[in-house]
Amino acid sequence: MVIREQIGEGMFKTVFKGTVHLPAAVAPAPVTAAILRFKQQVPKEEVDWALLERVGKHLYLVSTIAYATVAAGSSVQIATQLCPAGDLHTRLQDLADEEAQVSPLVALRIALQAAMGLQQLASVDVIHRDVAARNILLQSFDPRDQNKVHVKVGDYGLSKAGGAYYYDSRHAKPLPVRWMSPEANRRHRFSEKSDVWAYAVMLWEVFSLGDKPYFLFPDDSVVIGKIVAGVTLEQPARCPAAVFAELLQPCWAARAQDRPSFTDLVATAMRLYDTTLLEGAQGAQGVGRAQGLRCVVCLDAAADTAFSPCGHKCVCQEHSSAFASGTPCPLCRAPIQSALKIYE
């Protein structure tokens, strides 16, 4: 790995733009990448490469390219796909400084794409542990045009496999307590349902244009007490009531088992997105008139192709070829046997 320049810095890591030299059979030329250098010691043994291979490539996940250590005993560095438009948190803060806004359709497109990426992680029993706007990367972004939005869930290189995971506090790594569920704060227990909690906090960041969760309480220990006591974030002024009630609030159920799954959230985000189009919000945003449900891949064309045997009509004919027989339906994750064009 060759580091060129620093392009970002977060709570736990510094991000550089650089190049990665892979075997010639894989990539004959150096690959431009984002290189993550962690602020605390992370041994290479903590990178589960087999797990990352199991996640595979996905439209809404940042691809991991390689990892390396500079010297024996040093912290691991992880090279990932470089997303040219930066990270969501920085972009939201820029918009706040400009007194600009994110349209409801753009926010819902972020919600849907992030949920689909996290659904893929959950489908192979991967727990992210740090879902936040700073870890949503932008392949493309326009706060006024949802058709130019493509986000990817990143920074899952240190994710853990398994239905549930207990954090080992002896490692003394900092934890993102403001994004953590009651059970994660109280017992350091992480699962898909703690990622679901953090997903809703990330959406709260979107609608508040990058505000710090629980910003009225500067002390993290006070915030932990609030979360464990059942205090959740209030509805941001820019967040539609239906989106807050149907997409965010269910994710903050006190009991983990009462929270939706990411499969549920994909369906809810898609329904809210389509409803917003049908209600005429698209007219103010300068997009075409909605004609029924949209394709969950491009979100532009009408969904005119249904999968068998589940029956979900959720993609356009152009993108139906991306779902081969045996791959999971993007809504329910049931194995697909065939795709059928629906004429109405």
Output the six-digit token pair for 60.
Answer: 């809404």
Q: Is 87 helix (H, G, I), strand (E, B) or coil?
A: strand
- How is residue 233 written in tokens? 């974030």
> Exposure of 229 by Cβ count < 10 A (0-12 exposed, 13-18 middle, 19+ buried)?
exposed
Q: Which amino acid is at 302?
A: A
Determine the Cα–Cα distance for residues 105 and 41; give it in Å rounded to an integer. Answer: 40
Of 48, 87, 130, 219, the catalytic one is 130
302 C-beta neighbours (distance < 10 Å), count: 17
- 188, 182 contact by CB (below 8 A): no
Residue where the block lists tokens 């993550």: 36
Taking the C-alpha atoms of residue 63 and residue 243, their distance in angstroms, rounded to an integer, is 30
Residue 297 half-sphere exposure toward CB, CA atoms < 13 A: 19
219 counts as catalytic: no
Q: For residue 314, give the 3-state DSSP assignment.
A: strand
Distances in whole angstroms, Cα of residue 203 to Cα of each of 52, 95, 178, 200, 312? 25, 15, 13, 5, 26
Q: How far is 19 from 29, CA to CA, in rounded Å?
A: 10
Q: What does the alpha-carbon distance between residue 220 and residue 214 come to, in Å, rounded to a whole number? A: 9
List phi, psi (to 5°) of 307: -100, 145
Q: Is 3 helix (H, G, I), strand (E, B) or coil?
A: strand
Catalytic residues: 130
